[in-house]
């Protein structure tokens, strides 16, 4: 058991190292380009040369990378060329804004998708099942920027109920967060509901539910007492694995509604070639993904007694 988690941790460290290497390689392998990006198109060759020298860019690539990694680990994430401030002073606050958005999305999406999934999965092939399945395909087919346009067209342009931008210039505003949350939740709900449904169908056709039925237990008792607990193991872990998708959607949604979160930060950094900021954002996003994957593993082991009591791990594919 302990060995298994040890291997898992070592793997995570390996992945993070490789990720940091890829990020640094992509953005800084060409030192001259970095100088142009940091100093601007109109800097003179002498200025660039001086800057490269001052920042240790004449060292071999591997040494540069290790130096960068070392500084990064200790919280020195470099200067943002766009904001003219240390990256570490800007990024956490933006991440917190995105955290608010993500939490609100989860609060909307989890009850909605569980309700839909359970209703659909209780009786496979019923009218409710078909209707919910079509709804789920529909919402997962519409990309975030398109659903943002549709919802904005309805609630902003047509009904005039909600503001079309979520800049939050005068502090937090509930009205401004409704549309971004709705856009994110709409996509994720369809996806999660399908998984809840599949899991529910599997449990409802299992032998022990049939036994309960023959014993004369009422349908509500079967669903609530017998089926639900086992049906929810897979979806609960899937919620965590959805975070990478959610993060991608967050970028698009934040840009559309001009919400000042992590996504717009990365987007603006990309448009302005803000190298240090892009690096930090990419690293942070990967840390979030890897952390949620680990959390999902832990949750699964905790929820599923078969995993908890197993002395040796169930045979898995090597390396996955």
Partner 1 sequence: MSRWLAALRRPTVAIGGLMVTVWILCALFANLLAPYDPLLSGDPLVLPLGRGASGAFHLLGTDLLGRDILSRLIFGARTVVIWAGLATATAYAVGIAIGLLAGFYGGVIDRALSFIANVVLSFPVLVLYILIIVTLGASGVNIVLAVTFASAPAIFRLVRALALDIRSRDFIAAAITQGEGAVHIMVMEILPNTLGPLTVDACLRLGYTSITIGVLGFLGLGLPPPTPDWGGMVNDGRAMAIAFPHLVVFPCLAISSLMLGLSLLADGLREAPARA
Footprint of partner 1 on this chain (CB under 8 A)? 11, 14-16, 18-19, 22-23, 26-27, 134, 137-138, 140-146, 149-150, 152-153, 156-157, 164, 244-245, 247-248, 251-252, 255-256, 266-267, 270-271, 273, 278, 281-282, 285-286, 289-290, 293, 317-320
Distance CA 235, CA 191 (A): 10
**Contact predicate 121/197, CB 8 Å:** yes
Q: How far is the CB of 160 from partner 1 (least distance, A)?
A: 10
Residues 6+ apart with CB under 8 A from 269: 80, 82, 277, 278, 281
Give which of 114, 320, 115 is closest to 236, Cα–Cα: 114
Contact 114, 197 (CB under 8 A): no
Give the nearest distance from C-beta 258 to partner 1 in angstroms: 10
Report the residue number, 95 or 217, with the smaller CB distance to partner 1. 95
Quick one: 1 or 25, whose CB is closer to partner 1? 25
User: Can you tell me the distance from the alpha carbon of 54 to that of 79, in angstroms, rounded to the nearest whole number?
Assistant: 14
Rounded to whole angstroms, the Cα distance separating 131 from 128 reads 5
CB of 19 to partner 1, least distance (A): 6
Q: Closer CB to partner 1, residue 63 or residue 153?
A: 153
CA distance linking residue 320 with residue 18, whole number of Å: 16
The alpha helices in 56-173, defined as continuous H runs, are 61-73, 87-122, 127-141, 144-152
Choice between 91 and 282, CB closer to partner 1? 282
- C-alpha span between 73 and 98 (Å, rounded): 23
Q: Taking the complex as a whole, how short is the minimal distance between the CB of residue 240 and partner 1, in angstroms?
A: 14
The contacts of residue 239 (CB under 8 Å, 6+ apart) are: 106, 110, 192, 296
- Phi, psi of 143, deg, nearest 5: -65, 160
Smallest gap from Cβ 213 to partner 1, in A, equals 25
Rounded least distance, CB 218 to partner 1, Å: 31
Q: Closer CB to partner 1, residue 50 or residue 295?
A: 295
150 or 208: CB nearest partner 1: 150
| Cα–Cα distance, 249 to 143 (Å, whole number) | 9
User: Which of 13, 224 has the CB closer to partner 1?
Assistant: 13
In degrees rounded to 5, what are phi and psi of residue 80? -80, 125
Q: Provide the token pair at 93.
A: 């606050």
CB of 93 to partner 1, least distance (A): 19
């Amino acid at each position: 058991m302990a060995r298994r988690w040890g291997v898992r941790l070592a793997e995570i460290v390996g992945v993070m190292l490789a990720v940091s290497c890829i990020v640094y390689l992509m953005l800084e392998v060409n030192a001259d380009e970095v100088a142009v990006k940091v100093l601007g198109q109109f800097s003179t060759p002498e200025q660039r040369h001086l800057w490269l020298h001052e920042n240790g860019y004449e060292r071999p690539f591997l040494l540069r990378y290790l130096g960068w990694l070392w500084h990064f680990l200790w919280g020195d994430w470099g200067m943002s060329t766009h904001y003219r401030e240390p990256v570490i002073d800007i990024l956490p606050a933006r991440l917190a804004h995105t955290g608010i958005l993500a939490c609100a999305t989860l609060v909307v999406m989890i009850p909605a998708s569980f309700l839909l999934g359970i209703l659909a999965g209780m009786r496979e092939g019923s009218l409710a099942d078909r209707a919910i399945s079509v709804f789920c395909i529909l919402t997962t087919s519409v990309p975030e920027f398109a659903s943002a346009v549709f919802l904005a067209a309805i609630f902003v342009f047509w009904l005039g109920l909600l503001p079309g931008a979520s800049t939050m210039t005068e502090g937090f505003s509930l009205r401004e967060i409704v549309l971004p949350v709705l856009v994110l939740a709409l996509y994720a709900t369809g996806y999660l509901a399908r998984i809840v449904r599949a899991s529910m169908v599997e449990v409802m056709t299992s032998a022990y539910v049939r036994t309960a039925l023959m014993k004369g237990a009422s349908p509500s008792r079967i669903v609530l007492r017998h089926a639900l607990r086992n049906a929810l193991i897979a979806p609960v872990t899937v919620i965590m694995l959805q975070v990478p998708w959610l993060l991608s959607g967050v970028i698009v949604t934040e840009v559309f509604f001009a919400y000042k979160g992590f996504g717009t930060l990365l987007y603006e950094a990309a448009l302005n070639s803000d190298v240090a900021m892009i690096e930090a954002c990419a690293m942070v996003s990967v840390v979030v993904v890897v952390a949620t994957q680990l959390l999902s593993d832990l949750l699964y082991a905790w929820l599923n007694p078969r995993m908890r009591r197993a002395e040796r791990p169930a045979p898995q594919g090597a390396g996955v």
